[in-house]
Amino acid sequence: MQSFSIKKWVPWFLPLVLVFWFFGKKPSEPSVEQVHSTTRLAMGTLVTVSTWGVKGPSEEKAVDRVFTRISQIESLASRQDKSSPVYKINHAPTKKTWPVPEELATIVQKGLEIKKISHGAFDPGLVFLLDLWGFANGVPDVGKIPESQAISSWLENRKNHLEEGIRVEKSPDGTYTLQLDDVSFALDLGAIAKGYALDKAMETMKQAGVANALIIGGGDMVIAGSKGGKPWRIGIQHPRDHDKIMAFSEIVGDMSMATSGDYERFFMVDGERQHHILDPETGRPSRSGLISVSIQAKEGMLADALSTAVFVMGMEKGKAFIEKWEGIEGMLVAENGERWKSVGFKGQWLDGP
């Protein structure tokens, strides 16, 4: 009988992966330019929108519009919300073709592209497996190890459908359809839709005329501009010490960064950490040896998905992958203490470059 203790979870909605701090006292006079932050719960995590400037009605309106945009995308891509197209597709008989909004088709299509270039390390169709491991709602609802029989039949099924599984098609009239070939490919967009939502949130912010902002959701963030010419300073959570920062970045201009780690959603069984980033090759939590991966890219959706993909690839394949792709930078930390960051990664370890 396996004993297990569920470690005190990280309060799963607290974005403990990234914290950011601002140096210098905030001037109290309202007319002085400063950082204004608003935090709300969205997509199963806390989303913080920070802008630089003088607080006023137009900035407040922009922030409201940003959160409306995020909830629009959440209602498309959530697998928990019964009214979302993802929920309906996941609970319908397979091989049924569904008309889907273009935005959802875009996210799933991108997920399938990243599945291809990551040789299956990233896979947008892992619901069945995640539910087996008890991650139905993001955080583990039962700290149990699934029967290996259930895992092996999923692996068998996946092998037989590897090419298809999930189909996204554009009809001649410009509309999109989506089809699952088998229930074991039900959609989980937890590792890509958040990044997409933050991209769209920043787009909304700029359309509202705000050029200097930082939007953080869980382990992902999108940046624009600066704090009156000074960089946005971001700390990256130490994967084994929640009260510590292990590295920080100073960023001016448009960029995204996403961090994936094995310390956000997990449970312990007989001293082994069963976390929420699954290796589709084994059907189990990834044992790649990595415990934290931060990816910097132009697009938040890409950074989000690649941080998960590289986490599953492990140190050597992850390094090679990051060095191969233009515009992708990364910071990798392994359980054995090994750490690496790519030449162009904007940021440094707290204990030195």
Binding-site ranges for ligand FAD (CB under 6 A): 12, 43-45, 74, 77-78, 80, 122-123, 126, 130, 135, 137-139, 188-191, 193-194, 218-220, 260, 264-265, 276-278, 280, 304, 307-308, 312
Cβ proximity to Mg ion: between 145 and 214 the closer is 214
Look up residue 224 and give its amino acid.
A
In the set 201, 304, 318, 321, which binds Mg ion (CB under 5 A)?
304
Tokens read off for 48: 């913080």
Rounded CA gap, 191 and 222, in Å?
A: 15
Among ligand FAD, Mg ion, none, the one that 16 touches (CB under a kind-dependent 5 to 8 A) is: none
Cβ proximity to ligand FAD: between 50 and 260 the closer is 260
Contacts 24+ apart (CB under 8 A), 114-117: 114/192, 114/302, 114/305, 114/306, 114/309
Tokens read off for 33: 């330019």
The footprint of Mg ion on residues 62-91 (CB under 5 A) is: none
Cβ proximity to ligand FAD: between 225 and 347 the closer is 347
Tokens read off for 339: 């750490």
Shortest Cβ 219–Mg ion spacing (Å): 5
Please enumerate in sequence order all residues whose Cβ is within 8 A of that of 119, keeping only pairs 6 or more positions apart, or say none. none
Q: Determine the interface stretch with Mg ion among 144-152, 167-175, 258-266, 288-296 (rule: CB under 5 A).
A: 258-266
Shortest Cβ 51–ligand FAD spacing (Å): 23
Among ligand FAD, Mg ion, none, the one that 106 touches (CB under a kind-dependent 5 to 8 A) is: none
Dihedral angle of Cα 78, 81, 84, 86, to the nearest 10 degrees: 50
**Quick check: 189 binds Mg ion (CB under 5 A)?**
no
With beta carbons less than 8 A apart as the criterion, state whether 202 and 222 touch. yes
Interface pattern 13-52 for Mg ion (x via CB under 5 A): ----------------------------------------
Among ligand FAD, Mg ion, none, the one that 321 touches (CB under a kind-dependent 5 to 8 A) is: none
Position closest to Mg ion via CB: 304
Among Mg ion, ligand FAD, none, the one that 275 touches (CB under a kind-dependent 5 to 8 A) is: none
Per DSSP (E only), the strands in 252-306 are 255-261, 266-269, 272-275, 278-279, 284-285, 290-297
Shortest Cβ 182–Mg ion spacing (Å): 26
Interface pattern 264-303 for Mg ion (x via CB under 5 A): ----------------------------------------
Among ligand FAD, Mg ion, none, the one that 165 touches (CB under a kind-dependent 5 to 8 A) is: none
With beta carbons less than 8 A apart as the criterion, state whether 25 and 172 touch. no
Shortest Cβ 303–ligand FAD spacing (Å): 9
Dihedral angle of Cα 142, 146, 147, 150, to the nearest 10 degrees: 120
Q: Determine the interface stretch with Mg ion among 175-183, 198-206, 214-222, 320-328 (rule: CB under 5 A).
A: 214-222
Cβ proximity to ligand FAD: between 213 and 305 the closer is 305
Cβ proximity to ligand FAD: between 35 and 178 the closer is 178
Among Mg ion, ligand FAD, none, the one that 44 touches (CB under a kind-dependent 5 to 8 A) is: ligand FAD
SS3 113: helix
Look up residue 38 and give its amino acid.
T
With beta carbons less than 8 A apart as the criterion, state whether 214 and 38 touch. no
Shortest Cβ 233–ligand FAD spacing (Å): 21
User: 129-141: b or e for each residue (b if 16 or more CB lie within 10 Å)?
Assistant: bbbbbbbbebbbe
Rounded CA gap, 188 and 111, in Å?
A: 10
Tokens read off for 24: 């210098």
